[in-house]
Chain A
């Protein structure tokens, strides 16, 4: 059977994000290009979510390990910066998974720049679904998250911020 890009994608979908293990690195959108050279050689492009994301090295190691376990002997992984990673690449399914995990998914497209200057749009509490929430800090437990609190159920929660 010939190995295709789809097989590789399925294989990499088994690798969880090291910091948010409910979604895979494929759903996160960090795998940008898969280039099969032959049956044992492969080249991949991955892109960081944030410049200093400490999980990137872990992701690279996990990808390499997974491919070597599956018969590849030459694995080349390139880190690319352009186009820059955006939360727009998160699938709807990934967003649902985040919400079930207790992390509010990004609420709008990064195409909409109004939030940069004006009042940020309301963020929905992942627990009680109330829109009556407030920003505690634009910076949270990991680079990709902000800290919010629900004014109705009073639970603090992480929000996956739009970039």
Chain B
């Protein structure tokens, strides 16, 4: 594998993760529990879909085979997507959406903090941009985890159930492959084991403040680095990609 191929895969992984979560979150648009939360999730979806757009554009120039950003987003199949599985899971109830968001926001916060130091200027620039936005996202999702956890018996039960369900998808966030190894050597990629320590500590603090119990001895799901996904990804892609696939010549 060349550095260029590795960089393409690496950029796609971050782009796919942002796009799929952005698409999932946008399903809440017009359905939020109340107006302000509807706006919040729509704004967050917009930020991360925007980051995905910048990343696909960069991936397109790295690959340099004439595939545009839109081609990468709309004309690949589920087995070619590299997003972390946690992002493709259905929204569930609000506790599920918020807990998934807190887990991913916290990961993104420490991941982008490291990525700003990348020797790849474009990735570092996108990270610099995203970290400012993710800081707001993390404040939003953490404050809701805390309120649900320390709220009523009902809200506590729901957010604890969400945590129990989602924890099995957290191992994958930190998986590294030969792509990472190759790019870490040249100072481009982030060493995810460093991110893991910081993420773990932050999550421990948040869960403790929220009176929640961290699941122990959980079997960790894996697969997305090889394009293996839950059954949910193909459905979300079918919906998202229907228009450009049905009308290949359609322009915005």
Q: Would B40 and A84 count as touching, CB distance under 8 A?
A: no
Q: Would A143 and B36 count as touching, CB distance under 8 A?
A: no
Judge if B122 is at the interface, Cβ distance under 8 Å.
Answer: yes
Main secondary structure of the interface of A (DSSP, over half): loop
Q: Would B133 and A138 count as touching, CB distance under 8 A?
A: no
Q: Which residues 6-54 of B sit at the A interface, judged by CB distance below 8 A?
A: 36-37, 39-40, 42-51, 53-54
B interface footprint on A117-161 (CB within 8 Å = 1, 0 otherwise): 000000000000000000011111101000100000000000001
Q: Evaluate whether A84 and B128 lie within 8 angstroms (CB atoms) in the complex, with A51-B133, A139-B140 already known.
A: yes
Per a CB cutoff under 8 Å, which of B43, B51, B54, B126 touches A143?
B43
Residues of B within 8 A of A80 (CB): 125
Q: Evaluate whether A48 and B46 lie within 8 angstroms (CB atoms) in the complex, with A81-B54, A138-B40, A141-B39 already known.
A: no
A interface footprint on B121-142 (CB within 8 Å = 1, 0 otherwise): 1101110111011011001100
Q: Would A52 and B50 count as touching, CB distance under 8 A?
A: yes
Residues of B within 8 A of A54 (CB): 46
Per a CB cutoff under 8 Å, which of B40, B46, B53, B125 touches A137?
B40
Query: Quick one: closest B residue to A83, CB to CB?
Result: B128
Main secondary structure of the interface of B (DSSP, over half): helix
Judge if A50 is at the interface, Cβ distance under 8 Å.
Answer: yes
Q: Would B40 and A139 count as touching, CB distance under 8 A?
A: yes
The count of chain B contact residues (Cβ–Cβ below 8 Å) is: 30
Q: Evaluate whether A53 and B50 lie within 8 angstroms (CB atoms) in the complex, with A116-B135, A139-B39 already known.
A: yes
Min CB–CB distance A122 → chain B (angstroms): 18
Q: Would B128 and A51 count as touching, CB distance under 8 A?
A: no
Q: Would A82 and B125 count as touching, CB distance under 8 A?
A: yes
Min CB–CB distance A54 → chain B (angstroms): 7
Judge if A68 is at the interface, Cβ distance under 8 Å.
Answer: no
Min CB–CB distance B161 → chain A (angstroms): 26
Question: What residues make up the interface of B, taking CB atoms closer than 8 Å to A?
Answer: 36-37, 39-40, 42-51, 53-54, 121-122, 124-126, 128-130, 132-133, 135-136, 139-140
What's the Cα separation between A155 and B133 when bound, in Å? 27
A-B contact pairs, 12 of them (CB 8 A): A48-B50, A51-B54, A51-B129, A52-B45, A52-B48, A52-B49, A81-B126, A83-B128, A139-B36, A140-B43, A143-B43, A143-B46
Known A54-B46, A81-B122, A139-B140; 10 more pairs at CB < 8 Å: A50-B47, A52-B53, A81-B125, A81-B129, A82-B121, A116-B139, A137-B37, A139-B43, A143-B46, A163-B136
Q: Would A139 and B128 count as touching, CB distance under 8 A?
A: no
Q: Would A138 and B122 count as touching, CB distance under 8 A?
A: no
Residues of A within 8 A of B129 (CB): 48, 51, 81-82, 84-85
What's the Cα separation between A138 and B136 when bound, in Å? 8
Q: Would A50 and B128 count as touching, CB distance under 8 A?
A: no
Q: Would B47 and A143 count as touching, CB distance under 8 A?
A: yes
What's the Cα separation between A83 and B132 when bound, in Å? 12
Query: Quick one: closest B residue to A52, CB to CB?
Result: B50
Min CB–CB distance B30 → chain A (angstroms): 15
Residues of A within 8 A of B136 (CB): 138-139, 161, 163
What's the Cα separation between A110 and B46 when bound, in Å? 22
Query: Quick one: closest B residue to A137, CB to CB?
Result: B36
What's the Cα separation between A141 and B46 when bound, in Å? 12
Which of B124, B129, B136 is the most central at the interface, judged by chain A CB atoms within 10 Å of its CB? B129
What's the Cα separation between A38 and B36 when bound, in Å? 50
Residues of B within 8 A of A161 (CB): 136
Min CB–CB distance A160 → chain B (angstroms): 13
Query: Quick one: closest B residue to A161, CB to CB?
Result: B136
Residues of A within 8 A of B43 (CB): 139-140, 143
Query: Quick one: closest B residue to A113, CB to CB?
Result: B135
What's the Cα separation between A81 and B128 when bound, in Å? 8
Residues of A within 8 A of B45 (CB): 52
Query: Quick one: closest B residue to A146, CB to CB?
Result: B136
